[in-house]
Each structure stands twice: as structure tokens, then as C-alpha cells.
Amino acid sequence: MHPALGAIPHPRRVLVLGGGDGLAVREILKYPTVESVTLVDLDPAMTRLFSENPALARLNSGSLRDPRVHVTNADAFVWLENDTESFDFAIVDFPDPTNYSLGKLYTTAFYRLLGRHLSEHGAAAIQSTSPLFAKQSYWCIVRTVESAALHATPYHAYVPSFGEWGFVIASKEPYEPPASYLSGLRFLDGSTAPDLFRFPKDMLAVDVEVNRLNNQVLVQYYDSEWRRVSD
């Protein structure tokens, strides 16, 4: 998220879709200009657990109890359809598209809704599965974002316990990297960030279809690719 959020000058209003563990919110609150964070997560048990359990609240630095944070337990797709607020930045942190209910959250219809909620210079960072183990799935998400009239900037990082993992920056304007990063980030700065946007040969783009509500091709890609990994 830092490569995207750090590129937005003076972000004030931030939206988090999913992310009920409060870990993304913890990172967002490090930005001094942020005035409000709206967290939309389907599961009230998740947000309550990470708000009230002492051990888990320590992990997210008590972010869900911060007065700048407003938690709503709702279906993100429905919430986007009904809400009219605008945000400078959004994080889309959903589970992988293992079924059609989740697959709808990776469609052109969803990303068009998301785009309506981004401010003029706004952007979003989208969790997008692994470009190494699920190459078709990853590049399907990239292409779907582009088909929703947003600029798509793919990047990846090695995540301990997950492995090589992919993300997409969806933005109203062409992405420009931050001039500098927050001080105190453990692994990211101006010298390491460019490597996130370089893809080796085994993760380069492949030809894929766009994921739409009426085809849900992403779920099919995902099921096929991850089944091969697990076999």
C-alpha cells in the first residue's frame, strides 16, 4: 500500500474494503494528513475480535479504536453502490477469488464502482494473488482494472508465509512513484521500491480475458492454477 498511498499528496480520506484485522489501517494512520478512515468489512466478528482482543489489538496498534476510524460491517459491493463519499485512497483487501461470491469483487463492475469513489487524483491498492503461482489470475485482475477505465500499475513483493505476492495500483491518473517514503518503514525506501515494479520472466504478463459479472473467468483461472500448485 505504501507505494500507492505515498504517491498521493496530502491524503485526507481513506477507504479500506476488507482488512478487518486493522493491519492496513495501522499503516494508513502513520500518514499525518489522514483525517478519517472508513473500514468496510463483511464480518462483525472479525472487526470486533481485532478491536477487543488485547493480543490482536497490539498487532494492529489499536488502530480500530482510533477516533479517526469508522467501521461499517457490510457487503463492500452493496456499500459502494449505495454510498456517495469520495476518497483520496482506497485499499481493496479481499480474500482470493475462490468462488463466484468473491469473484464478483474482482470484476469490471466492481472496479467501476470503486473508481466512482476515488477523488480526482485518487488511487487504490488491490490485493491480487500471486503472479508466480497464479499468473493468469494475477494478470486477469490487472487487465480487468484497465477495462474499468482506470490506470493499472502492477507490482509484487515477497511476503513471508505467503511467498511471491501481487498487487495492483488502480488510479485515476498515470501512476508516479513517491518522491520519498515515510521514515521508519522497515523494508521500503526509495532504493528498494523500484524492484517492486520489475517482473522477472516467470511472472511476466500473459494473454487473459477480462473478468466480468457474466463470465467470472477469474474464478476459473484461479481454481485451475492453485489446484496445480496443491497437487
The reported pTM is 0.95
The Cα 49–Cα 41 span in angstroms is: 13
Q: Which three cell numbers stand for residue 53?
A: 482482543
The Cα 202–Cα 199 span in angstroms is: 8
pLDDT in tens, 103-135: 999 999 999 999 999 999 999 999 999 999 999
pLDDT in tens, 21-54: 999 999 999 999 999 999 999 999 999 999 999 9
pLDDT in tens, 160-196: 888 999 999 999 999 999 988 888 888 888 889 999 9
Q: Which residues pair with 37 in a beta bridge?
A: 14, 69
The two beta strands, 87-93 and 13-18, are: parallel
The Cα 58–Cα 61 span in angstroms is: 5
Q: Report the amino acid identity of residue 19.
A: G
CA 18 vs CA 36, 38, 78, 105: distances in Å: 16, 11, 13, 11
Residues marked as catalytic: 93
Model pLDDT, residue 179: 86
